[in-house]
Amino acid sequence: MTPPLEVTESTAAAPPEVTLAGMSKKAIQGRSLSQIAWLRLKRDKVAIAGAFVIIALILAAIAALVLDRVFNVIGPNDFHQDLIDTEGGTLAPKGTFGGMSLEHPLGIEPVNGRDLLARIFAGSWISLLIAFLATVLSVLIGTVMGVMAGFFGGWIDTIISRSMDVFLAFPLLVFAMALVGVMPDTVFGLGSETVRIGMLTFIIGFFNWPYIGRIVRGQTLSLREREFVDAARSLGARGPYILFRELLPNLVAPILVYATLLIPTNILFESALSFLGVGINAPTATWGGMLSEASRFYTMPHFMLWPGLAIFVTVLAFNLFGDGLRDALDPRAR
């Protein structure tokens, strides 16, 4: 019998279709798509800068928690009313630029004189935590719904798609406000802050899922038509195998990208809710809440500048990173 091999060794070492500069082509065994994406991402300076800011933020948020609890630095809720102009009655910080000083680098709040820097830091973890958790929730619901709709099709698809329409037709913010207003404040003996965070997470996360759901559904629909799904079926694979082993790994990239881009949206959503007065309870600092308070003192713009900047930088960092990630995972998308 003739050996079925008409292939010489040169075929075996055929160059990968995706080649990268400076990479020896044979050096890496089995470079997966994610590894390639990572290599691409590493070269995207802006995205990496975004990632660094995000990491710094997370560290700062953790530091804020630890410092607040462990070390006795200026607390985010400590009053400094001695620095407030109470005699003149204006209740503005004494001194220029909102009471900026070495001790209070970003100045202090009017009325009670709380340190803005400390509050910005303290606010970071709430913002990030809620945004992260809400994103996780949206992604979970969105993925499950999207995959179900896309994979099963038929009436399941119809129902899920219609319910996504319903969600999209709701004036979300109004709805979220209404919900926050009527939701109980304490549940299962949990403290009000925990409940509040949970509730905000739920509301933000719950209302954002249709967006990711649509994307996942679309992706699933197109993946479902790929022949490798048929290949698996022709090998006798069951539904769950196809779903989890064949489809999901391919959905990870778009989901990841969308999640990174959803986080900034959720940060904005949380701050919007706080701004509208339905966020986390006082005195816990949140950026949106600080902005909302600052809006009452618009004559002292420095007061709204810092939380506004904090939101901006965070959101920007996530957006930059998300953009970079998308480009890295799907270089064609841009």
Partner 1 sequence: MSIENGDAVSAQTETQPVEAKRTDEALLSVEGLTKHFPIRKGLLQRQVGAVQAVDGLTFDVKKGETLSLVGESGCGKTTTGRLLTRLLEPTAGKVIFDGKDISHLSVGKMRPLRRDIQMIFQDPYSSLNPRHTVGTIVGAPFKLQKVKTEHGVKRAVQDLLALVGLSPEHYNRYPHEFSGGQRQRIGIARTLALRPKLIVADEPVSALDVSIQAQVVNLLEDLQTEFDLTYVMIAHDLSVVRHVSDRVAVMYLGKIMEIADRTALYERPMHPYTVALLSAVPIPDTSRRGNRERIRLQGDVPSPVNPPSGCRFRTRCWKAQEICKVEEPPLAELAPGHRAACHFPENTDKLTIDPTGASHS
Partner 2 sequence: MPATVITYIFRRLFAAVVLLFIVSAVTFSIFFVMPKLVGGTPETLATRYVGRAATAETVKITAEKLGFYDPVVVQYGNWVKGVVAGADFDYGAGVERCPAPCLGYSFRTKQPVWPELLDRAPVTMSLAAGAATLWLIGGVAVGTLSALRRGTFFDRTAMGIALAGVSLPIFFTGLISLSFFSYSLGWAAPGGAYTPFLENPGEWAYNLLLPWITLAFLFSAQYARQTRAGMLDTMNEDFIRTARAKGLPERTVVVKHGLRGALTPILTIFGLDVGLLLGGAVLTESAFSLQGLGKYAIEGITNYDLPKVMGVTMLAAFFVVVASLIVDLLYAVVDPRVRTK
Partner 3 sequence: GGNGTDGKNGGGGTKTPAFNAALTETFNPSEKKGGIVKIANAGTWDSLDPGETYYGYSWNFLRLYGRSLLMFKPAPGGASNELVPDLAESLGTPSEGGKTWTYKLREGIKYEDGTTVTSKDVKHAVLRSTDKETFPNGPAYFEGYLNLPEGYKGPYKSKGVDTNSAIETPDDRTIVFHLKQAFGGFDYFAHLPQTVPVPEAKDTGAKYREHVISTGPYKFDKNEIDKQFNLVRNPEWKPETDPNRKALPDGYEVTMNVNADDIDNRLISGDIHIDITGTGVQPASLSRVLSDPAIKANADNPTIARLWYTSINPTVAPLDNKECRKAVLYAVDRTGYQTAYGGTFSGGEIATTLMPSQIPGAEKFDLYPAGPDNKGDVAKAKEALTACGQPNGFETNIAYRSERPKEKAAAESMQQALARVGIKLTLRPFPQGDYFSQFAGNPPYVVANKLGMALNGWGADWNDGFGFLSQIVDSRVIRETGGSSNTSVRIPEVDKMLDEAIGETDTAKREKMWGAIDKRVMEEAVILPGVHSKSLILRGKGLTNVFVSDAYGMYDYLAMGLE
Q: Which stretch binds partner 3 (CB under 8 A): 18-26, 140-148, 258-266, 279-287?
A: 279-287
Q: Which of 49, 18, 54, 35 is nearest to 253 (CA)?
A: 35
Q: Which residue has the tokens 């809720």?
A: 77
Interface residue with partner 1, options 66, 170, 193, 226 (CB under 8 A): 226
Report how many residues bind Ni ion under the rule CB under 5 A: 1
323 binds partner 3 (CB under 8 A): no
CA distance linking residue 167 with residue 183, whole number of Å: 19
Q: Out of 2, 24, 72, 299, point to the residue binding partner 1 (CB under 8 A).
A: 2
In the list partner 1, partner 3, partner 2, none, the entry touching 97 (Cβ below 5 to 8 angstroms by class) is none
Q: CB-wise, 118 or 320, nearer to partner 2?
A: 320
- Least Cα distance to 99 among 78, 86, 85 occurs for 85
Judged by beta carbon, residue 238 or residue 332, the one nearer partner 1 is 238
Residue 89 binding partner 3, by CB under 8 A: yes
Q: Which of 162, 130, 178 is nearest to 286 (CA)?
A: 130
Question: Where do runs of H (alpha helix) occur along the chain?
Answer: 9-12, 33-43, 45-69, 116-152, 154-169, 172-182, 192-224, 227-234, 239-241, 248-275, 287-295, 302-329
Report the residue number, 89 or 171, with the smaller CB distance to partner 3.
89
- C-alpha span between 219 and 245 (Å, rounded): 15
Chosen residue from 20, 23, 144, 237 binding partner 1 by CB under 8 A: 237
Between CA 95 and CA 92 the distance in angstroms is 9
Residue 14: contacted member of partner 1, partner 2, Ni ion, none (CB under 5 to 8 Å, by partner type): partner 1
Residue 169 Cβ, how far from partner 1 at the closest point, in Å?
18
What x-and-dash track marks residues 276-295 binding partner 2 by CB under 8 A? x-----------x--xx-xx
- For residue 103, the SS3 value is coil
Which residue in 10, 24, 29, 299 binds partner 3 (CB under 8 A)? 299
* Closer CB to partner 1, 103 or 165, in the complex: 165
> Is the Cβ–Cβ distance between 127 and 287 less than 8 Å?
yes
Binding string to Ni ion for residues 1 to 30, with x set by CB under 5 A, is what? -x----------------------------
Give yes or no for residue 283 binding partner 3 (CB under 8 A). yes
Query: Which residues 114-173 are close enough to bind partner 2 by CB under 8 A?
Result: 162, 165-166, 168-171, 173
Cα separation, 67 vs 130, in Å, equals 20
Of 219, 235, 49, which Cα lies nearest the Cα of 151?
219
Residue 277 CB coordination number (10 Å)? 13
Give the binding site for Ni ion (CB under 5 A).
Answer: 2
Give the binding site for partner 1 (CB under 8 A).
Answer: 1-2, 4-7, 9, 11-12, 14, 16-18, 29-33, 226-228, 230-238, 241, 246, 249-250, 252
